[in-house]
């Protein structure tokens, strides 16, 4: 078992800061969750979610509850109501999302807004090379993960009821502006490469202005695989989803192939013998996606998208480091986050240079 697999798998007792009145929740479920029967047992998942996530066990089966964290939050963060809306639309359209049961906007029940969905039983892999599996199964899983993101991007978002789920168009311009502001608001040590990226990116956005539902954090550890078959049965953690650019979503996912070890726990595929593992190369993976989404020309300007994604990750990590400086985040992980900002910015700038940036 890989280190991350061991660290994040399974459930634990509910953390003191995330406890709530379980009897009150049980009463709520009796009247709002079809087929539910008590008594209720509550455990908390170990995995690193920003929204506390619980396993609810009862005689009628297992369920999952996701809630806003308690305490003071950024206005648009932890929008579990948006998560509930998007999984409801996608589940109804035949996408592998968990069955949604109920959204509760009444803070009195567990202390914050929450929703309940089915507990999908299967496998979650925290290590991208899935060391416990054989070559053929790895190949089949990566093929299905690719088919699943293609299916998501092929949906007509208006047709499935998500026409007002986000603003179509100008996705990269808005993202670059947002993350640049966040970066400078949190800046501790100057990164020359971040400054260069912030200047270069807005002037080099590709003309392709496609729009689709995007997941925003499409990674292997955000999905549940069938217990025995090599296929995705549930995509989880829709907190960053919106109507955005499909190529931004895909190329974020491609960082699995590009990410070096910069001390933030990222265990990428860079430098691994992909052929021996049965995992497709980045080029083969992109070609498969393009076949499935009708992009006959492939993906021009790929280096721009990679530069953008490393810029975005660096800005997010700078935000975490900034919260430590301001005393609103714990320091162990955050210190590592701050140290990773400049190496990631340098990597982003190297992709910008491949795309033609000169200084």
Assigned domain for 127 exists: no
pLDDT at 48: 52
Q: What is the pTM of this model?
A: 0.89
pLDDT at 16: 86
**Residue 192 pLDDT > 80:** yes
State the DSSP string of 143-175: HHHHHHHHHHHHS-TTTTT-TTSS--S-HHHHH
Assigned domain for 124 exists: no
Q: Average pLDDT over the chain, rounded to whole?
A: 89
pLDDT at 346: 95
Q: Are residues 142 and 77 in the same domain?
A: no
pLDDT at 325: 65
| Full domain range(s) for residue 207 | 135-354
Q: Are residues 97 and 220 in the same domain?
A: no
Could you give the dihedral angle defined by the CA atoms of residues 9, 15, 20 and 26, in that order, rounded to the nearest 10 degrees? 30
Lowest pLDDT segment from 75-84, 176-185, 206-215, 268-277: 75-84
**Residue 31 pLDDT > 60:** yes
For residues 252 and 143, give the distance between their C-alpha atoms in angstroms, rounded to a whole number: 17
3-class secondary-structure state, position 340:
helix
pLDDT at 65: 95
pLDDT at 337: 74
User: Where does the pLDDT of residue 329 fall: very low under 50, low under 70, confident under 90, or very high at 90 and above?
Assistant: low
pLDDT, tens digit, for every residue of 33-61?
Answer: 999 999 999 999 876 556 788 999 999 99
User: Where does the pLDDT of residue 74 fall: very low under 50, low under 70, confident under 90, or very high at 90 and above?
Assistant: very low
CB burial of residue 77 (10 Å; 0-12, 13-18, 19+): exposed
User: Where does the pLDDT of residue 355 fall: very low under 50, low under 70, confident under 90, or very high at 90 and above?
Assistant: very high
Assigned domain for 238 exists: yes
Assigned domain for 128 exists: no
Q: Are residues 92 and 195 in the same domain?
A: no
pLDDT at 266: 57
Helices (H), the chain: 3-8, 22-32, 80-92, 135-154, 171-186, 192-200, 246-253, 255-258, 274-277, 282-293, 302-325, 331-354
User: Where does the pLDDT of residue 316 fall: very low under 50, low under 70, confident under 90, or very high at 90 and above?
Assistant: confident
Q: Is the distance from CB of 217 to CB of 237 less than 8 angstroms?
A: yes
User: Where does the pLDDT of residue 265 fall: very low under 50, low under 70, confident under 90, or very high at 90 and above?
Assistant: low
Q: Are residues 98 and 222 in the same domain?
A: no
DSSP 8-state code for residue 264: S
For residues 136 and 303, give the distance between their C-alpha atoms in angstroms, rounded to a whole number: 30
- Looking at the chain, the whole-number percentage of residues with pLDDT higher than 70 is 89
pLDDT at 73: 44
Q: Are residues 317 and 182 in the same domain?
A: yes
Q: Are residues 148 and 245 in the same domain?
A: yes
Q: Are residues 240 and 349 in the same domain?
A: yes
For residues 327 and 330, give the distance between their C-alpha atoms in angstroms, rounded to a whole number: 8
**Mean per-residue pLDDT for 150-158?**
98
Higher pLDDT, 50 or 139: 139
For residues 228 and 62, give the distance between their C-alpha atoms in angstroms, rounded to a whole number: 20
Q: Are residues 334 and 231 in the same domain?
A: yes
As given in the structure block, the two tokens for residue 81 are 């109501």
Per the structure, how many domains does the chain have? Answer: 2
User: Where does the pLDDT of residue 314 fall: very low under 50, low under 70, confident under 90, or very high at 90 and above?
Assistant: very high
- The CA-CA-CA angle for residues 259, 262, 265, to 5°, reads 85
pLDDT, tens digit, for every residue of 194-245?
Answer: 999 999 999 999 999 899 999 999 999 999 999 999 999 999 989 889 999 9
Which among 55, 89, 118 is the end of a domain?
Answer: 118
Assigned domain for 58 exists: yes
pLDDT at 246: 97
Assigned domain for 126 exists: no
The enclosing domain of 256 has a CATH number of 3.90.1200.10
Which among 65, 85, 118 is the end of a domain?
Answer: 118
For residues 273 and 291, give the distance between their C-alpha atoms in angstroms, rounded to a whole number: 25
User: Where does the pLDDT of residue 189 fall: very low under 50, low under 70, confident under 90, or very high at 90 and above?
Assistant: confident
Q: Are residues 91 and 163 in the same domain?
A: no
Assigned domain for 125 exists: no
Which among 66, 87, 118 is the end of a domain?
Answer: 118
pLDDT at 126: 86
The enclosing domain of 22 has a CATH number of 3.30.200.20
Q: Are residues 144 and 268 in the same domain?
A: yes
Q: Are residues 47 and 104 in the same domain?
A: yes
Assigned domain for 331 exists: yes
Higher pLDDT, 308 or 330: 308
Q: Are residues 205 and 339 in the same domain?
A: yes
């Amino acid at each position: 078992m890989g280190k991350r697999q061991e660290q994040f798998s399974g459930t634990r007792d509910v953390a003191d800061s995330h406890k709530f009145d379980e009897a009150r929740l049980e009463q709520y479920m009796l009247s709002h969750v079809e087929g539910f029967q008590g008594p209720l047992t509550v455990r908390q998942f170990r995995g690193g979610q920003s929204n506390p996530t619980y396993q609810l066990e009862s005689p009628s089966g297992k369920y999952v509850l996701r809630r806003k964290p308690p305490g003071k939050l950024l206005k648009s963060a932890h929008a579990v109501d948006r998560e509930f809306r998007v999984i409801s639309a996608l589940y109804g359209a035949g996408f592998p999302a968990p069955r949604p049961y109920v959204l509760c906007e009444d803070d009195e029940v567990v202390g914050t807004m929450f929703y309940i969905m089915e507990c999908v039983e299967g496998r979650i892999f925290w290590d991208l090379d899935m060391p416990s599996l054989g070559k053929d199964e790895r190949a089949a899983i990566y093929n299905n993960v690719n088919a699943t993101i293609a299916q998501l991007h092929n949906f007509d978002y208006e047709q499935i009821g998500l026409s007002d789920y986000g603003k179509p168009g100008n996705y990269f311009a808005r993202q670059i502006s947002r993350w640049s502001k966040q970066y400078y608001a949190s800046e501790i040590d100057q990164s020359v490469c971040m400054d260069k990226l912030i200047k270069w990116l807005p002037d080099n956005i590709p003309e392709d202005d496609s729009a689709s539902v995007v997941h925003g954090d499409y990674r292997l550890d955000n999905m549940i695989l069938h217990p025995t078959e090599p296929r995705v049965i549930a995509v989880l953690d829709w907190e960053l989803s919106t109507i955005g650019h499909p190529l931004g979503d895909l190329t974020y996912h491609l960082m699995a192939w590009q990410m070096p070890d910069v001390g933030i726990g990222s265990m990428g595929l860079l430098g691994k013998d992909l052929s021996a593992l049965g995992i497709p190369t980045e080029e083969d993976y992109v070609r498969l996606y393009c076949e499935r989404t009708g992009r006959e020309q492939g993906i021009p300007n790929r280096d721009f998208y990679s530069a953008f994604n490393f810029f975005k990750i660096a800005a997010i990590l700078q935000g975490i480091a900034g919260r430590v400086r301001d005393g609103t985040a714990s320091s162990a992980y955050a210190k590592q986050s701050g140290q990773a900002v400049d190496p990631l910015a340098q990597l982003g700038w190297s992709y910008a240079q491949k795309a033609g940036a000169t200084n």
